[in-house]
Amino acid sequence: MVPRRVGACSTVLHMSGKLAILCYHRVLRDDARADEGWPYFLRGTAVSLSTFTRQMAQLTRRLALVDEERVRAWALGRTDLARPSAWITFDDGYKDIIEHVAPVLAASDLPASVFVTTCTLATPPRALPADCWYGALLGAQRRQGVLTVNGSPWTFDLARADDRARLVDGPERRHYLRASPAEQSAILASLCAALHAGGGDPPGLYMSGDDLRALLRRGWTIGAHGATHAPFQTLSSSELATELAAVQSTFSRQGLPRPTTLAYPDAGWSSDAEAVVAAYGYTAALLLGDRRAEKDPLRLPRFLVPDDPCWIEQVLVPALEGDE
Residues 69, 70, 74, 79, Cα dihedral to 10°? 120
Where in the chain are all domains bearing CATH 3.20.20.370? 19-124+220-321
Residue (of 226, 231, 233) closest to 280 by Cα position? 226
State residue 269 phi and psi, 5-degree precision: -105, 145
- The CATH fold of domain 19-124+220-321: TIM Barrel (3.20.20)
Q: Bridge partners of 154?
A: 147
Inter-axis angle of helices 129-138 and 181-195, to 10 degrees? 10
Note down pLDDT in tens along the chain; length 324 residues.
223 333 445 443 444 579 999 999 999 999 999 999 999 999 999 999 999 999 999 999 999 999 999 999 999 999 999 889 999 999 999 999 999 999 999 999 999 999 999 999 998 899 999 999 999 999 999 999 999 999 999 999 999 999 999 999 999 999 999 999 999 999 999 999 999 998 656 678 999 999 999 999 999 999 999 999 999 999 999 999 999 999 999 999 999 999 999 999 999 999 999 999 999 999 999 999 999 999 999 999 999 999 999 999 999 988 887 755
Listed in sequence order, the residues at least 6 apart from 287 whose beta carbon sits closer than 8 Å to its beta carbon are 264, 267, 269, 299, 300, 301, 302
Cβ-count burial 165-185 (b if 16+ within 10 Å, e if not):
ebbbbbebbeebbbbeeeebe
What's the one-letter identity of residue 53? T
User: What SS3 string covers the chain?
Assistant: CCCCECCCCCECCCCCCCEEEEEECEEECHHHHHCCCHHHHHHCCEEEHHHHHHHHHHHHHHCEECCHHHHHHHHCCCCCCCCCEEEEEEEECECHHHHHHHHHHHHHCCCCEEEECHHHHCCCCCCCHHHHHHHHHHCCCCCEEEEEECCEEEEEECCCHHHHHHHHHCHHHHHHHHCCHHHHHHHHHHHHHHHCCCCCCCCCCECCHHHHHHHHHCCCEEEECCCCCCCHHHCCHHHHHHHHHHHHHHHHHCCCCCCCEEECHHHCCCHHHHHHHHHCCCCEEECCCCCCCCCCCCCECCEECCCCCCHHHHHHHHHHHCCC
Q: How many other CB atoms sit within 10 Å of the CB of residue 86? A: 24
Give the closest residue to 207 by CA, choosing from 99, 50, 49. 99
**pLDDT of res. 200:** 54
d(CA 210, CA 208): 5
Q: Are 226 and 243 within 8 A, CB to CB?
A: yes
Q: Which pLDDT score, from 0 to 100, does residue 206 have?
A: 97
| Residue 16: per-residue pLDDT | 55
| pLDDT at site 20 | 97
